[in-house]
């Protein structure tokens, strides 16, 4: 990378110095009566070269952000200098660079937020599975499913328009159904949980459910698994995990 950067420094410097679009103006004092415009052009060219040299030093040090920022500043502040024109050619025009950066941000930020919300759903899928397994184990011993529970905890994670993890609350899991499931959430969490059981014997069924609203827009995400007792007295749950609005 350092070898490439040094080669780039030599190449851009050569392009800037050989730029036929505008020759380097003579330094003040080299010609008697030099026009003011020529003096200003010389000052800009010297400032542009200094900025270019500093940007390349940052690039050689591995600071790509400072390198790109330097090229943008060259193209914007000194567009008519040899180094400014070289910078514009290097980045394809300052305006195009800014537009491209904006487009990438517009795509990347929502995708990143979606990734973050998806990672949080692992809590719901894990706990629904834990509830399902607890119901199957309880039925094997008692020939019935645990009692229906309230939606727990009572308050949602969304408070003031923001979704924050709810602190663990042992009192939220004291209902008989939770005790029979041997279920509680002992770590900070985003979702609320519910267990609903119906019937007895063949045909009896239960639903283990997690409900949440990760972006606090009022649309609820639902994760659930359903178990049923077949004619042979076995608990089945072949449908697997059902999800609706999983990233909400």
Residues 30 and 138 in one domain: no
pLDDT tens-digit map of 52-84: 888 888 878 888 878 778 878 878 888 888 887
pLDDT of residue 28: 45
Is 79 found in the same domain as 131? no
Cis before 153 (ω within 30)? yes
Please check whether residues 146 and 219 belong to one and the same domain: yes
DSSP track, 61-93: TT-HHHHHHHHHHHHHH-TTSHHHHHHHHHHT-
Total domains in the chain come to 2
Q: Is residue 114 part of a domain?
A: no
Question: For residue 156, what pLDDT is reported?
Answer: 85
Given this model, what pLDDT does residue 38 score? Answer: 54
Q: Do 84 and 135 sit in the same domain of this protein?
A: no
* Domain extent at residue 74: 2-92
Same domain, 14 and 87: yes
Residue 139 has pLDDT above 50, yes or no: yes
Contact 46, 84 (CB under 8 A): no
All residues at 6 or more sequence positions from 215 whose CB lies less than 8 Å from its CB, including other chains: 117, 163, 247, 248
What mean pLDDT is reported for the chain? 79
Tokens of 239: 């449908």
Same domain? 154 vs 37: no
Same domain, 138 and 78: no
Question: Which of these three, 42, 77, 92, is where a domain ends?
Answer: 92
Task: Provide the percentage of residues in the chain whose pLDDT is more than 70.
Answer: 75
**Claim to verify: residue 235 and residue 149 sit in the same structural domain:** yes
Instruction: Note whether 127 and 184 are same-domain residues.
Output: yes
Model confidence at 92, pLDDT cuts 50, 70, 90, reads low
Is the residue at 229 inside a domain? yes
Do 149 and 200 lie in one domain? The reply is yes
Are 129 and 234 part of one and the same domain?
A: yes
**pLDDT tens, position by position, 149-159:** 999 998 888 87
So what's the pLDDT on residue 25? 43
Do residue 156 and residue 212 come from a single domain? yes
Report how far residue 75's alpha carbon sits from residue 246's, in angstroms, rounded to the nearest whole number: 46
Residue 176 has pLDDT above 80, yes or no: yes
Higher pLDDT, 206 or 215: 206
Question: Is 111 a member of any domain?
Answer: no
Whether 110 maps to a domain, the answer reads no
More confident residue, 193 or 44: 193
């Amino acid at each position: 990378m350092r070898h490439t950067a040094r080669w780039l420094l030599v190449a851009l410097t050569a392009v800037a110095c050989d730029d036929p679009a505008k020759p380097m103006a003579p330094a003040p004092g080299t010609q008697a009566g030099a026009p003011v415009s020529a003096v200003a052009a010389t000052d800009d060219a010297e400032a542009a070269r200094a900025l270019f040299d500093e940007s390349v030093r940052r690039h050689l040090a591995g600071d790509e952000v400072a390198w790109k920022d330097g090229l943008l500043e060259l193209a914007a502040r000194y567009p008519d200098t040899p180094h400014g024109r070289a910078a514009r050619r290097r980045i394809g025009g300052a305006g195009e660079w800014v537009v491209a950066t904006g487009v990438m941000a517009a795509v990347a930020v929502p995708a990143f937020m979606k990734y973050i919300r998806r990672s949080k759903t692992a809590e719901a899928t894990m706990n629904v599975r834990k509830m399902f397994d607890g119901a199957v184990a309880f039925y094997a011993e008692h020939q019935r499913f645990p009692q229906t529970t309230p939606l727990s905890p009572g308050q949602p994670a969304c408070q003031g328009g923001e979704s924050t993890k709810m602190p663990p609350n042992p009192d939220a899991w004291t209902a008989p159904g939770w005790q029979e499931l041997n279920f509680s959430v002992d770590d900070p969490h985003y979702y609320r949980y519910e267990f609903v059981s119906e019937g007895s014997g063949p045909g009896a069924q239960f639903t283990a459910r997690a409900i949440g609203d990760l972006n606090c827009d009022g649309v609820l995400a639902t994760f659930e698994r359903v178990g049923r007792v077949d004619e042979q007295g076995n608990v089945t749950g072949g449908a697997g995990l059902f999800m609706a609005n999983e990233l909400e």
